[in-house]
C-alpha cells in the first residue's frame, strides 16, 4: 500500500468503504490514507460506512480521525445517511463520537426528519 500514491490510497479508501472491505480500510489507514478523502458527491468513507450500516468500518474510521460531521455536496452528514437508511447501530456509534444531531442538509433537513419520514422508530427515539 505504501507504494501507491497518496491520491490512489485516498481513492481506494473511499472505494473500500463503499464495498465494505474493512480489512482493506485498515491497511489503507495504516499506509497513511486520508480518512477525510472524498469521492463522488463529496462522500467520505464514513458516509459510505453509515449508508451501508457498517458499524465496524464506522468505528474504525472515527477512531482514525474521520470527521463525524463531514458534509457531502448536498449537506448530508454520515448521521443523515444512518437515519435515512435505518442504520441504528451506526447512528448510535456516530452519536457517541459526537455527531451533531441537529445538523441540517442544504434543504434544512435533520437526521430526525429522515428517521421520521422513513418510519425508523428506533432512530426517531434515539434522535429525539
Average pLDDT over every residue of 21-27: 97
Owner of C-alpha cell 467520505: 44
Q: Are the beta carbons of 87 and 57 closer than 8 angstroms?
A: no
Residue 2, pLDDT above cutoff 70? no
Q: Model-level pTM?
A: 0.95
Residue 103, pLDDT above cutoff 70? yes
Q: Are the beta carbons of 74 and 54 closer than 8 angstroms?
A: no
Distance CA(116)–CA(34), nearest Å, equals 34
pLDDT number for residue 1? 63
Distance CA(2)–CA(28), nearest Å, equals 9
From the options 3.30.2320.80, 2.30.40.10, 1.25.40.20, 2.70.70.10, give the CATH code of 6-127: 1.25.40.20
| ∠ CA 58-99-70, rounded to 5° | 70
Amino acid at each position: 500500500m505504501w507504494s501507491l500514491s497518496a491520491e490512489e490510497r485516498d481513492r481506494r479508501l473511499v472505494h473500500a468503504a463503499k464495498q465494505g472491505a474493512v480489512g482493506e480500510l485498515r491497511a489503507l489507514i495504516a499506509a497513511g490514507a486520508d480518512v477525510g478523502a472524498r469521492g463522488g458527491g463529496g462522500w467520505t468513507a464514513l458516509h459510505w460506512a453509515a449508508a451501508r450500516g457498517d458499524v465496524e468500518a464506522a468505528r474504525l474510521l472515527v477512531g482514525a480521525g474521520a470527521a463525524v460531521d463531514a458534509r457531502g455536496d448536498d449537506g448530508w452528514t454520515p448521521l443523515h445517511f444512518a437515519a435515512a437508511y435505518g442504520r441504528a447501530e451506526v447512528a448510535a456509534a456516530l452519536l457517541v463520537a459526537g455527531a451533531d444531531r441537529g445538523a441540517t442538509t442544504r434543504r434544512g433537513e435533520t437526521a430526525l426528519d429522515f428517521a421520521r419520514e422513513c418510519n425508523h422508530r428506533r432512530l426517531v427515539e434515539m434522535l429525539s
